A and B are shown apart, each in its own frame.
Chain A
Amino acid sequence: MPRNRPLLSHRFVANRRRFLKGSLAVATVLPAASRMTFAQGGQVNIYNWDTYIGENTVANFTEATGNEVRYDLFASNDELFAKLREGNPGYDVIFPSNDFVERLVAADRLIQLDHSKIPNIANIDQKFMEAEFDQDRAYSLPYFWGTIGVGYRKSATEGMEPKAWADMFDSDQYAGRMSLLNDSDVIEVALKYLGLSLNSSDPKEIDAAAEALIKAKPNIKAFAPDTGQDLLIAGEVDVCMEWNGDILQVMGEDDDLAYVVPEEGSILWEDAMAIPKDGPNPDGAHEFVNYILEAEVHGEIASEIKYPCPNKAARDGGFIPEEDLADSSIYPSDETLARCEVAVFDPVKDDLKEKALTRVLAA
């Protein structure tokens, strides 16, 4: 459920939550390879996060199935939801995060998947097939997943590396060198810091989370709209709350950076593939989803974009590099994951958290 906060994204290396690129690349029509004419195939309209697919995946799909692809980008779940809010503007496959799968189902915007047309479902790790946000995976199938955690600069935090949210909220050791996300995820994280469930809808608990953040606020340099990794790599902050993929990307550019999922646990998210209602080519959409779930294809994307992959066959088949699988900043240990939670969609809770966030930012 990574999301690109407000407006447009901005970053110059691969990352799917890039405001600027996302909004500028309004309609990226795929190049030469996909323009070849195939008598049998139709066109599949994909709507995905930026830089969230393999370089050749789409061209290979066209070659394998004869379907041409029109590929559009969104920068945030909010943008995706806004696009589909008043009806489907012509997309066949979309990539919403877990709570937005729920939101889209509640808004009656997704069709039920025909599992018989997607035999590669068998490749998916069984634990992803029992998702709370989508019982029996009737509407969505997992694409990639990840965590929200803490990115930090090793040299600047030597001997006091952040291990827990408490290291950031209780102490002033990183005073003026910390950034947090400026959306309601920060409230969820504060709930985890207090040892509570991040899905709490108890106003008292959410208030306590807001109070904890207000108390920590003097030490915080900025509430960043998903730009923490930019602040980190630019040296503006040494510790920041961010999406794993964002930090991983800057870790590729700067060895001095690291990522950790705090001890108290954190937000676990999943981006799913779903088929919106009234799309022009539902059969092609099923074909695309099935193609992605092929062990080799899914593994190849994973090796490129470095997000954790839910495809068991891809892992077992050796399509994902061993060093990635062993890297705890990509695949956190089961022990760590056990302390994390997936956010569920709950309008009551979301309203409370929204207001708590406004209160924190206004304090």
Chain B
Amino acid sequence: MESWRQHQLVFWAFLLPGGLWLVLFFLAPLSLIWAFSFGERAGVVDIAITGTLSNYIEAFDPLYLKIFWKSFWIAAAATLVALIIGFPVALAISFAPPTLKPILLLLVILPFWTNLLIRTYAMIAVLRTRGYVNFGLEGLWDGASTVGEALGLGALPRFQPLVLLYNDAAVIIGIVYVYLPFMVLPLYATLERLDRSYLEASLDLGAGQIRTMASIVVPLAKPGIISGIILVFIPALGMFLIPDLLGGPDSQMIGNVIERQFKAANNWPLGAAMSFILLYITFGALALRSYWSRDDV
């Protein structure tokens, strides 16, 4: 391949649009927010950048640390569930007949064509007391009750709807539902590239299906697993819409606190500091990722 050094004009022509875009619409606003995190409110709309660390100190108040911690474990739980559900799905798609693959992949991506808010409202309709899950269960329950009566076993007590909404579990279900494609797609990408002859070799040499899965497939899929975890965990960590709509009285996540700082509380410097703490954590996670996958190149 020819080096870009010999075709500098071409190189710059290609770099410029994307580079400009990144600088203008990503780096510049981000730097502004970063600067706000070292600022103080001066009046209702003005922020004086004084270099103060008070916002970071405030963000480390035990109250907020507790919420950071809670967000962390909710995001971790959601990521784990997404991995457990997403891995078999990705595996199935990568082993599906070639004609079926595009359709299966489309089905994974399809929910993205619907707005996040609408999907979250759909979850409310599914999970609420008078929602579809409870309707379904009630139908089964009544059916069982009728059968029981017919057999002379007596009727079951009245169906008590499950409380599925307004708790942390509902938040986790919501996050998994929304971010599952982010887990499935990178997993699929690595599993698709996986050399099938390794699997044959493993099975030929006497390893069972489970052993092959654990010792061959999962280690080879590691880059995809790590990408999937990061792609789900990071947005889940800053989530505020889902805890707002599906969460219970104490499902508040750090995203909700940040959102309030920028809106109702009108405290942009504190909100900026909290956002950047999340960003620093993200950088840390990405650094860890490159550390883990340093031998995988």
Contact = CB atoms under 8 A, between A and B. Distances in A.
A358 B166 contact: no
Which size bracket describes the interface of A in this complex?
35 or more
Nearest to A363: B250
Interface in B54-108: 63-64, 66-67, 70
B248 A85 contact: no
Interface string B106-137: 00000000000100010000001110000000
A269 to B, nearest CB: 15
A225 B250 contact: no
B259 A6 contact: yes
Given A6-B244, A184-B264, A358-B252, A107 B44 contact: yes
B222 interface: no
Contact of B130 (A81, A234, A354, A358): A234
Contacts of B261: 354
Interface in B238-264: 240-241, 244-245, 247-250, 252, 256-257, 259-261, 263-264
Interface stretch (A65-73, A215-223, A289-297, A314-322): A215-223
Contacts of B266: 81, 103, 347, 350
A26 B117 CA distance: 16
Given A10-B117, A182-B244, A78 B264 contact: yes
Nearest to B261: A354
A36 interface: no
Given A221-B248, A354-B265, A7 B117 contact: yes
A183 interface: yes
A6 B260 CA distance: 8
B244 A358 contact: no
Which size bracket describes the interface of B in this complex?
35 or more
A361 B44 contact: no
A89 interface: no
A160 interface: no
A355 interface: yes
A225 B44 contact: no
Interface of B: 41, 43-45, 63-64, 66-67, 70, 117, 121, 128-130, 165-166, 240-241, 244-245, 247-250, 252, 256-257, 259-261, 263-267
14 contacts: A7-B241, A20-B117, A82-B263, A182-B244, A217-B249, A217-B250, A221-B166, A225-B244, A235-B130, A347-B44, A350-B266, A351-B265, A361-B249, A362-B63
Interface of A: 5-8, 10, 19-20, 76, 78, 81-82, 85-86, 103, 106-107, 182-184, 217, 220-223, 225, 227, 234-236, 347, 350-351, 354-355, 357-359, 361-363
